[in-house]
Amino acid sequence: MTLIIALIIIGVLLVVAELVLLPGLSVAGIGALICYGIAIYFGFSTYGTNGGLIVIGSILILSVIATVLSLRARTWHKLALTQAIDGKSQIQPQDTLKIGDRGLTVTRLAPMGKVTISGETYEAKSQGNLYLDPKQGIEVVGFENFNVIVKPLQINNN
């Protein structure tokens, strides 16, 4: 009798694992069927027809209860991730800058490099793939992904 009860409990645990952890027909589902089959075999062979039918009834009732409890939304609520992730990997420059803002190159833009605008440093690309030296005045003309597109400021010698 202990072996039959143990097989039924193992089968129910494998059904729960199949439903919650390993969806689809996998080792847990096949293992549960094998445990149930062996328990039914021992129920009929050891206790006759009545014992086998009691084992089948027990398996059906326990399996239905385990399935219902496993699939309820609140059962696994404590294990679920409920915190929202709202962080960003990097700030989009268009969130803080606008076309026409001015700044200085920090590194050489060949044609990519770093610029500083309003005290913040950004990755930048020169318009027309120009090479710009450090500490040269620039103006924002656009945005591309996480890069600022800049052009050199024209100095009037009048």
Tens digit of pLDDT for each residue in 121-135? Answer: 999 999 988 899 999
CATH code of 93-152, in short, is 2.40.50.140
Full-model pTM: 0.48
CA–CA separation, 124 and 13 (whole Å): 57
Tell me what the mean pLDDT of segment 69-77 comes to: 71
The most confident of 6-20, 33-47, 62-76, 86-100, by mean pLDDT:
33-47
**Burial of 136: CB neighbours in 10 Å, binned 0-12, 13-18, 19+:** middle
Tell me what the mean pLDDT of segment 132-157 comes to: 87
Average pLDDT along the chain:
86
Instruction: Please report, to the nearest 10 degrees, the dihedral formed by the alpha carbons of residues 51, 53, 57, 60 taken in order.
Output: 120
Predicted local distance difference test score (pLDDT) of residue 79? 65
The domain segmentation of the chain, as residue ranges, is 2-71, 93-152
Sign of the torsion formed by the C-alpha atoms of 96, 135, 155 and 113: negative
- 56-72: burial string, b at 16+ Cβ within 10 Å, e else: eebbeeebeebeeebee
